[in-house]
Amino acid sequence: MVARLILASLVADFVLQPGSLVAWKKRSFWGLLVHTGVVFAASLFIGVESWSRRYAFLVLILAAAHLIIDSAKIAADRRWTDGLRPLATFLSDQFLHAVSIVVLAAAFGYIPGDTLISALRLPLADSRYLALTSVYIACVLGGSIAVRLVVQSFSALADADRPGLLKAGAYIGIIERLLITSLVAVNQFGAVGFVLAAKSVARYKEMESIPRFAEYYLIGTLTSSTIGVIGGMLVRAIWTR
């Protein structure tokens, strides 16, 4: 049941919501109501095998929760428009939709209480999940500090007067370490080369236009990829122990 409701929410948000409806939602509350109606209809259609008064009431409450969450997202998007804040509001919006579905499905008896409690306790009951979280935080986010400390003495090679370039490099490094750590963890070393090649293509113009940028790029990339590889090996060791 939860899978059906999550699918309905995703279909309503990404398949049945064209750009014109997104713009209408931002301009008028009526657009938001139309989108909520789409969520309600999609949930009923995808859950047709479970039709009952209880299910219809659950879908109605979920649609109302969807409306409230989307209203908060629109308000947040109007207030925060720079940097990664729009991405943060988007991810928060989808996370809250998923949480509302799970909570309400449990409240209406579609998820046994013991099952939900066991699922929530699992990350804390199994120390491997805590260890994996620690490795990812250390490699992906803590790695940014390590890379910055390594390359800061070489920042002149990258033209320190261009902070936008360095900031973009930090974000690219975060994604790079996340991918490399995950790929190494599942023993896909070949795909790591694709990640590094894609990064090199993205930086090709800087290598041409900024003298000695290639040296700075190589130092940062090797440091970042080393952290990612070590992190991936740790993840695999923790999970298979």
Contact 144, 170 (CB under 8 A): yes
**Mean pLDDT of all residues belonging to the chain:** 86
As a whole number of angstroms, the distance between CA 51 and CA 60 comes to: 13
Tell which residue, 98, 95, 8, 103, has the closest CA to residue 49. 8
Residue 77 pLDDT > 90, yes or no? no
pLDDT band with cut points at 50, 70 and 90 for residue 163:
low
Please state, in angstroms and rounded to a whole number, the distance separating the CA atoms of residues 12 and 40: 9
Q: Contact at 8 Å (CB) between 227 and 146? A: yes
Residue 166 — pLDDT band, cuts 50, 70, 90?
A: low
Q: What is the pLDDT of residue 47?
A: 84
Distance, CA of 16 to CA of 19 (rounded, Å)? 10
* For residue 7, pLDDT beyond 60: yes
Nearest by Cα to 66 from 119, 16, 113: 16
What is the mean predicted confidence (pLDDT) over 136-142? 92
More reliable by pLDDT, 203 or 131: 131
Q: Where are the domains of the chain?
A: 2-123, 126-239
Share of the chain above pLDDT 90, in %: 45
CA 35/CA 102 separation, integer angstroms = 21
* Cα(147)–Cα(109) distance, integer angstroms: 49
Residue with structure tokens 């790929």? 183
Query: What is the pLDDT, as a whole number, of residue 155?
Result: 64
pTM, entire model: 0.76
Report, as an integer, the average pLDDT of 226-235.
94
